[in-house]
Structure 1
Amino acid sequence: MRSSTTGSGGAAAAEGLPVLEGALAWILLTVGRRPHFDGHAIILGRITAVRAAAGRRPLIHHDGAYGALA
């Protein structure tokens, strides 16, 4: 599937929404509230679907370096 808004390749997730092709995981949520705190906004929502690739380890970026979960 190609996204009509970005032109990039992808696959259909739950509800027909696009996800990045080759993504290790994705989370679909229904947005609830968007409160603002000291110039920052957070999104609160209800998770409606989750998918993770079996047998693949995610790449983590923390404290200026890349690593993996143990």
Structure 2
Amino acid sequence: MNKLYHILKAEELYQFNIQDHYQPSSLKTKGFIHLAYERQLQKIITSFFKDSREVYLLEIEKDLVRNSIKD
């Protein structure tokens, strides 16, 4: 199975852990969830999370996602 990753900041991880479901803010504001393949992670973290002290990764099995994924 192909794996996808969703990058979280500490405050997003906290919300993920205390709620019974997780809905990233991008789903509401942009209509989709940002995901990445492993090969993309370093560049994304360096470019968009450089001011974050820590980031966390949610690992997602691509084949188990029911909604459409655009590469």
Q: Under a length normalisation based on structure 2, what TM-score does the superposition of the two structures give? A: 0.23
> Which structure has greater strand proportion?
1
Q: Under a length normalisation based on structure 1, what TM-score does the superposition of the two structures give? A: 0.23
> Which structure has greater helix proportion?
2
Q: Which has the higher contact order (CA 8 A, sep 6+)?
A: 2
